[in-house]
Amino acid sequence: MRVLLVEDNALTRYTIKSLLDKLGHEVVAEAEDGPGAVKYFQEFKPDVVFLDLILPGKSGVEILEDLRALDPNARIVVVTAVEQDEIDRRLADKGVNAILRKPFSYEDFKALMKALA
């Protein structure tokens, strides 16, 4: 799969990219904020977007709305350490395909990618 990685933390970006590489997926672009996410989404048309929930400037929820406006069928995985039922409901209402909770294990990540395939 071709993946757009939207994460402001360099270590988390590196970790997810390494796991994706190990599983045979290609990170086509990396963004640290909303404008970069939208630009790269339009430019690369990835199969999946990994989207951090807490980003500078715009929240992951706002970026999710922007991406949905561009492509209602985009496959989006929200990556977050936030664990709240209200946020989960909002994300589900906005059509996220999955939520990956930080910290996560390699096995959890591998299972998520298998489910997305």
Q: Which CATH architecture has domain 2-116?
A: 3-Layer(aba) Sandwich (3.40)
DSSP letters for 44-83: H--SEEEEESS-SSS-HHHHHHHHHHH-TT-EEEEEES--
Q: Give backbone dihedrals phi and psi of 52, rounded to 5 degrees, phi first.
A: -65, 145
Q: Does residue 83 or residue 95 have the better pLDDT?
A: 95
Please compute the mean of the pLDDT values over residues 104-109 and round it to a whole number.
95
Which residues touch 73 (CB under 8 Å, ≥6 apart)? none
The pTM score is 0.94
Q: Where are the beta strands (DSSP E) in the chain?
A: 2-6, 26-31, 48-52, 75-80, 98-101
CA distance 101 to 80: 5
pLDDT for residue 88? 86
pLDDT in tens, 57-68: 899 999 999 999
